[in-house]
Amino acid sequence: MPTSGRTSVTGSKGAAAGVVAAVVVASASAGSLPPPLFRAAGQGTALASSGPRIAAAASCDVRVVDAGSKPTLVKRFGYCREDRFESATIGLWLGKNTIVEENVLSPSPHGDSYELWVGRPRGTLHQLGGEWGWTDSGEPPTYGCDRVVAAGGGVVAITPVPNNLGDATACTGHASTQIVLKGAVDKKLTIAGAWGVLATNGKRIALGGFDSSVKRTAELAIVDLDGRRLGTPHFAAGDVQRAYRGWFTPAGLFLDTKRGLVGPGSRLLVDGYSDITIGEGRAIYIRGRQLRGRRLKGGADRLIMKLPFPDSYVAAGTYGVAVQTGTVSERNAVYRIPWSTIDQVVPRSR
């Protein structure tokens, strides 16, 4: 099964056992972790947030929490419906009344298969596109188009990209790229060239290019929801080539890259983190057993609070920041930290 870590353009992948939730009313004080929204038996495998909503996965159990509500278990689909112990949900993205799940099936060390499912969190999910993966015990060794996903502004954007997971390469030779939009916008658009989505804010989409040998290039494109090209901010070539994901903000586009979080002009803002998110003009990130933050427009890097374990994910919403612990150690819990708590340590930009 995969382990935690940034292994794709957009985020982390992992695998786990089952989940048992216990709901607790959350409150917070500056510098201390609040009681968890719920605890889980097993390893946390994915975390996402949008508006007041949080989605968290452990193995194949995905739970969604809205403001003031108890966690709701999302019905299982695909690999997760078929096989509990050899599958997991390893990616989550939220849009307006929309959830996107990436599932993996890993029955042996000789290959993995992946799939995407999309729909309403409390409704029926539908598979989007075909499977992709790799095997060392059959032909072809690499099959299907990989997918990269970005979410923001109530929209989830999805693009197929070349699949380099096995000993060969699949899904090559793109003369154009189809972008699928779900959530606040439900449409498909096609643009010339081979691209993978990096970020969206519901109005614009940032894309990273691929060349004819299916390697990432230094080309960055910004398009609107009709596919029209917009002005593109300057970033160093290496940062574009090694970007995992990004965020549109009033302070400009920020990219999560191999060397860290970089802003316009490839200014390095934060490095040395295991996971990071952006919200309310601040970068909030995990470094070891610390939840830290700093303003996007500059200022001191500050410790917000200590965490019980170093293996954690983080995601931002309108309520504040969600933290999922136990992404490796199987000591899984999900917390909600309000912006008022973070404001006391890392004030909002004026």
Where exactly are the structural domains of the chain? 137-271
Contact 36, 337 (CB under 8 A): no
The pair of three-digit structure tokens given for residue 307, joined into one six-digit string: 């965490």
Evaluate if residue 1 carries a pLDDT over 80.
Answer: no
Question: Which residue bears the tokens 């439900």?
Answer: 186
| Residues 93, 325: Cα–Cα separation, whole Å | 18
| Residues 16, 87: Cα–Cα separation, whole Å | 8
Q: Which residues lie closer than 8 Å to 268 by C-beta, 6 or more apart?
A: 259, 260, 261, 262
Mean pLDDT of 213-221: 93
Question: Whole-prediction pTM value?
Answer: 0.90
pLDDT digits (tens, 9 = 90+) for 232-246: 999 999 999 999 999
HSE of 119, CA atoms in CB hemisphere, 13 A:
13
CB-neighbour burial class of residue 192 (10 A; exposed 0-12, middle 13-18, buried 19+): exposed
pLDDT digits (tens, 9 = 90+) for 61-101: 999 999 878 999 999 999 999 766 799 999 999 999 999 99
